[in-house]
Amino acid sequence: MLVRVIAAATLLVVIALFAAPAAATVVSDWNAAALAEVRANKVGPPIVARALAIAHTCMFDAWAAYDAQAVGTVLGDALRRPADEGTDANKAQAISFAAYRCLLNLFPAGATRLASVMLSLGYDPTDGSTDLAMPTGIGNVAAAAVIEVRKNDGANQYGALNSGAAYSDYTGYVPQNPPMQFCTPLIVCAPPIVLDPDHWQPLVGPTGVTQVYIGPHWELVRPFALTSANQFDHLKLTPPPDIFKNPGHYRANVQDILKASRELDLERKLIVEYWADGPASELPPGHWGIFAQFISQRDGHTIDQDVKMFFAMHNASFDAGIVAWHFKRLYDSVRPITAVRFLMQGQTVVAWGGPGRPTERIPGEKWMPYNPGTNLTPAFPGYISGHATFSNASAEVLKSFTGSDEFGFSTVVPAGFGRVELDIPPVPTTMSFGTFTEAADQASLSRLYGGIHFVDDMTVGNILGRLIGQQAWDKAQTYFSGGASSPSR
């Protein structure tokens, strides 16, 4: 992990290094288009992971028609074309139509943007041909098959399971605590009302909007490689949250959070800001899409390499979301903001004092996380950490695909990037990750630094993420080699 301030001369060198990267493949281009839709549509993390997995599955299935061995996840080898048609031009065209159709289905509000991407690549977005002798038809048919298979996968994409909004809950979840009114150390506010200190509590945001649990039904979504959302439940790796064990564990977890709050410095604040991935961002699954784009350019990938890498990584992230949200629903575990305010109510604590304030003595019932966005804590329970699970699953696939943990990623964070405190960082600052493991570890740690997660939320998420990533990689290879026993339905 390295966060360092760089001098102006060094900054110019870094910019020069990244000013003229290798040309992106069409797969990487469509990943960037998908992330643009994620930012614009502001859906929750597991929904983003599913969308990216579906988009890249559509691309993979279209591409597989032009590969000698690979089989599609839905139609198998039914779309296979003669070897002499397997040109990059045909692959790019089929991939583009598949990506466009799938992303249009997932993000209909992005129709104009997505059509612009097609036009920029020289394709007619209105061409709905299903002629399998042509790349356009291959792309359209592959996409239609994936869309149909995913129509009733439990995500409730169309709201049909409860006649409600897209992706809305159909399981009847009700929080065990009333909403916590908005409060910071800087304002006058009423004491918190906590009926059950072990369980999640929705928050009222600064504009008066009350959180609604994002994806309480998500454990019911059909995965990519998992046998089930609960396949890891029997392992000793997945004990109940520490805060469930006894009052001593509860207090220890709260003290860990307060210690992290006291120790917030410029470096840790920047780590929190960089990894926050909140609303209007690409969210944790998409953050690793950006990293995969870097690997594509770093290693000069072909279309064939990119279609496999993005397909495997985003499907691993998809499965990671299903497992993480299973545990979130299973334990409905408390977030630090509720635990700290409940346990330390009426006491004075030494912690970060709020935006623009130093570490100081504040009322325990007013403690707040360092978290960018409109809410002080995400709209779902804590255990296990989505950041940890998504990041480690994605890192595991990238390690397997490249054959190494070596990453070598650097990015310059501009001065004033911060959303909690606008002077974070005070000068342009480079964040660098030598390995994928280092990046995944920092993503996890950022949630402790920010007061968003307890330690065991992250450690269990790290372990499960790696297991999920390896399982997804193994499954993906069966499609690469043509050894998949049956299409994914």
**Are the C-beta atoms of residues 372 and 447 closer than 8 Å to each other?**
no
- Please tell me the predicted confidence (pLDDT) of residue 375: 85
- Please tell me the predicted confidence (pLDDT) of residue 23: 67
* pLDDT tens-digit series, residues 395-437: 999 999 999 999 999 999 999 999 999 999 999 999 999 999 9
pLDDT at 12 exceeding the cut of 70 = no
- Category of 118 on φ-ψ map: left (φ > 0), alpha (ψ -120 to 50) or beta: alpha
- Please tell me the predicted confidence (pLDDT) of residue 9: 28
- Please tell me the predicted confidence (pLDDT) of residue 18: 31
Q: What percent of the chain has pLDDT over 90?
A: 90
* pLDDT tens-digit series, residues 184-198: 999 999 999 999 999
Between residues 96 and 42, which one has the greater pLDDT? 96
- The residue among 50, 115, 109, 38 whose CA lies nearest residue 316 is 50
Bridge partners of 203, per DSSP, are: 180
- Please tell me the predicted confidence (pLDDT) of residue 485: 59
Angle between helices 26-41 and 88-106 (to 10 degrees): 10
Between residues 42 and 47, which one has the greater pLDDT? 47
How does residue 281 score in pLDDT terms, banded at 50, 70 and 90?
A: confident
- Please tell me the predicted confidence (pLDDT) of residue 383: 98
Domains of the chain: 2-481 (1.10.606.20)
- Please tell me the predicted confidence (pLDDT) of residue 305: 98
With DSSP H G I counted as helix, E B as strand and the rest as coil, what are the percentages for the chain, rounded to 5? 50, 10, 40
Check: pTM over 0.85? Answer yes or no.
Answer: yes
d(CA 64, CA 76): 9
Can you read off the two tokens belonging to residue 351? 């912690």
d(CA 149, CA 140): 14
Mean per-residue pLDDT of the chain: 93
How does residue 16 score in pLDDT terms, banded at 50, 70 and 90?
A: very low
CA 119 to chain centre: 29
DSSP per position, 262-291 = HT--HHHHHHHHHH---TTS-HHHHHHHHH
